[in-house]
Amino acid sequence: MELKAIPESIKSEVSRVLKDWNGTCKFTVNGGKLQLEMKKEYKISDDKSVFVERAIDIYDFLTISVSQNNVAVSTVVRPEKVGSFTEFELFCKQLRQIEEDLKIQIA
């Protein structure tokens, strides 16, 4: 699904969220409702636990998977849920601060 296929009523919010997210986004429809599946991978070869502990505490709807050299964070944003975009934007800002503090690279 492309951005032009998104309903006008939420297009500006979706654009704003995508601007803040430096990762991938997949648009899906589940039960007739739009979802944004967001994913970001980091290259972390050192101790991953510091990043995981900080990231897991800032957003309730987060999945974190760890491999040998990477850490991936993913979540689903549901535009029809009141406050979903606002919560996600705050999460993006906090995640960006963690990225800067720990000087980690996006894979």
pLDDT at residue 46, rounded to an integer: 82
pLDDT at residue 65 in the model: 93
CB within 8 A of 14, min separation 6: which ones?
3, 6, 36, 79, 85
Q: Record the tokens describing residue 19, joined without a space.
A: 């601007």
Query: What averages of pLDDT result for each successive group of 10 residues across the chain (107 residues)?
Result: 68 83 88 89 88 88 90 90 85 92 89
Chain length of the chain: 107
User: Which structural domain, as residue segments, surrounds residue 16?
Assistant: 3-106
Domain at 51, CATH number: 3.30.1360
8 A C-beta contact, residue 98 and residue 80: no
Number of domains composing the chain: 1
pTM above 0.75, yes or no: yes
C-alpha distance from residue 65 to each of 50, 91, 107 (Å): 14, 18, 14
